[in-house]
Amino acid sequence: MSNGDPDTQIDPRFDPVDGPVVATFVRYAVPSVLGMLAVTSAGIIDGIFIGNFVGASALAAVNLAQPAWAAFAAIVFMLAVGGSVMCGRFLGQKDTESASSIFTRTLICAVGTGVLIAGAGLLFLDDLVRLLGATDAVQPLVEAYMRIVLIFAPVFVAALTMDYFVRADGRPVLAATALGAFAGSNIALNTLFIVYLDWGIVGAAWASALAEFAIFVILLSHWFHPRCSLRLTLVRGRWADVMQAAWNGLSEFINELSVGLVVLFFNWVMISRQGVEGVAAYTIITYLMMIGLEVSYGISESLQPTVSRNLGAGKPDRIRKFLLTAVCAAFSVGLLVSVLLLALPEQMIGLFLRPDEQDTALIALVFIGYFWPTFLLNGTNITLASYFTALHRPIPSACIAISRSLLLPGIGLLLLPLWLGDRGVYLAIPIAELLTLFLAVFLVLRINPLTAVGLHDDEDRSFKSEVL
């Protein structure tokens, strides 16, 4: 693996520390957003293929499997995001040895954790599927789908971890290319396995699993490139550094785990109130929500390397400018998605269903009518949570994450249906996002960039004295 000169690693025109703010942000954001959209499109294409060629029951089965996958991904994101932010700080300080050390330790821990979780899931698959709320009618579909996904999960863990570090190492275009290859491979394999070979839901699982290798192979090439600053090494640093990175990635852990829990709660509520058709309708809403969410995640992830490098360089004014740029971008995307949902709801729902499944389509249409304000708010909340992660302030980041993705939606699902019936189910998440926005703005006003840089300088001196 190469160990290039860190001073030449990044194009000086788009250097997060010295380059123009908007141009640099766009340089990081566009590839990140396109990459996240590529992954999202792969999931949406799965839904389109499954809904049109297998049926609404299979669509519901995929959604019933999602909480288990979210719990699995939560630990990976906690390590990968926290580790890459720490890596970005070291790169901002021109300390490539410490950056390489945290990369190596994070990769080992993430893959090891992935193997353990996947093994446990396969060993107790039947009990897990029952816990997820699968009825006798859909249990075989859920088991068939999850078995294949879990077998190939460690490959995806390694690829996803590498993706974050490649971006932190100054090559966001390569990271986006890898995710784009994943999406293209997934679409081609879905066409082959579901349409031509008629493998049903098993075909969708195989398509996703095999496409994961595309990400891994493309990202692996970075470590043989002259501009690579990172290498596999355990020479410097401590394993305790991974725990520090995981602590900093706490909000990402909460986000992913909470998404799984909220989906689980929604599935329980919808299947008890409206049956499999209700779960299938909610699945369509989650696919549509993925569009806005993944763009917002792409914007927030591009904020992490830019803010973390300026944190290491001690430049609070640039941190503030990057934050403002990211928030404006996230809100604009939310506004656009909301307009599309309100203007074309029937056409978007129709992408995922056969013409004869009108009961599911009607439920989804009503759901959208109450749910659309979510898109105006969730992008800003996600961006502000990511901002605190980049500042190495995990507590406020986690507060935003747990409020929007678990605590407030859970309370809403518990109480609102008692007063409003089904409307309470539909309004639980929009109300949660609005209340979270108030909290996030309060925290941003309390912890400004100048304060964060001062706290970081004190912590950095303490950290270096411990290592030396």
Q: What is the pLDDT of residues 191-225, one digit of tens each?
A: 899 888 889 889 988 988 888 888 888 888 888 88
Q: Which residue has the higher pLDDT, 440 or 296?
A: 440
Percent of the chain at pLDDT > 70 equals: 89
Range of the domain at 47: 17-467
Q: Which two tokens stand for residue 211?
A: 């496409």
- Collapsed DSSP state (helix, strand, coil) of residue 248: helix
Q: Is residue 431 part of a domain?
A: yes
Residues 67, 79: Cα–Cα separation, whole Å: 19
Q: Is residue 131 part of a domain?
A: yes
Q: Which two tokens stand for residue 430?
A: 């929009």
Highest average pLDDT, of 81-90, 97-106, 311-320, 446-455, comes from: 97-106
Q: Give, in order, the Cα–Cα distances in Å from 448 to each of 254, 391, 442, 444.
A: 23, 10, 11, 6
Segment 93-129, tens digit of pLDDT: 778 888 888 888 889 988 898 898 889 889 998 888 8
Segment 9-23, tens digit of pLDDT: 455 566 677 777 777
Alpha helices, DSSP H, located in 93-200:
96-123, 125-131, 139-151, 153-168, 172-190
Q: Is residue 7 part of a domain?
A: no
Q: Is residue 372 part of a domain?
A: yes
For residue 10, the model assigns a pLDDT of: 53
Angle in degrees, CA 311, 314, 319, rounded to 5: 55
Q: Is residue 446 part of a domain?
A: yes
Name the DSSP class of 224: G
Q: Is residue 135 part of a domain?
A: yes
Report how many domains make up the chain: 1
For residue 6, the model assigns a pLDDT of: 37
Q: Is residue 8 part of a domain?
A: no
- pLDDT of 314 over the 80 cut: no
- pLDDT of 462 over the 60 cut: no
Q: Which residue has the higher pLDDT, 79 or 315?
A: 79
Q: Is residue 10 part of a domain?
A: no
